[in-house]
């Protein structure tokens, strides 16, 4: 198998009350003139080549949990999780996750106010 892409995974605990709250933090905005304005997350993480269709948000409430859960539980339904989730070594509970897939480019993953879990290979 060869590497066909990567996913950058960011976790949070107690910061976001819902998936909508996470989306407010990560989704770009549009000015009155129709110009794209980067979100706080995009600026903090240094995201280039932004493709919103390749960013997934998972909130514990949306998968039936009212409290933080280990990443293995929170992330199991993420795209390609069967390929990259076994690489995750953290068991620290979280209640929200952001998965940034290629072609998005993350240039400053440790610059966010979230816990950066790491970059994981997707193989095909």
pLDDT, tens digit, for every residue of 37-75? 889 999 999 998 889 899 999 999 999 999 999 999 999
The residue range of the domain holding 104 is 3-123
Inform me whether the pLDDT recorded for 2 exceeds 60: no
Model pLDDT, residue 123: 79
C-alpha to C-alpha distance for 122 and 3, rounded to whole angstroms? 6
Cα–Cα distance list, 124 to 82, 83, 119 (Å): 12, 9, 16
Place of tokens 């066909």: 4
Taking the alpha carbons of 23, 25, 30, 31 in that order, is the dihedral positive or negative? positive
Q: What is the DSSP letter of 67?
A: S
Say what the pTM is.
Answer: 0.92
Residues, the chain, total? 124
Looking at the 3D structure of the chain, how many domains does it have? 1
């Amino acid at each position: 198998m060869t590497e066909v892409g990567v996913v950058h995974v960011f976790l949070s605990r107690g910061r976001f009350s819902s998936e909508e709250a996470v989306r407010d933090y990560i989704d770009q905005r549009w000015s009155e003139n129709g110009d794209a304005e980067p979100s706080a997350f995009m600026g903090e993480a240094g995201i280039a080549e932004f493709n919103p269709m390749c960013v997934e948000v998972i909130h514990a409430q949306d998968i039936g949990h009212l409290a933080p859960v280990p990443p293995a539980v929170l992330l199991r339904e993420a795209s390609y999780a069967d390929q990259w989730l076994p690489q995750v070594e953290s068991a620290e509970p979280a209640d929200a996750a952001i998965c940034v897939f290629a072609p998005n480019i993350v240039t400053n993953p440790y610059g966010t106010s979230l816990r950066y879990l790491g970059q994981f290979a997707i193989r095909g």
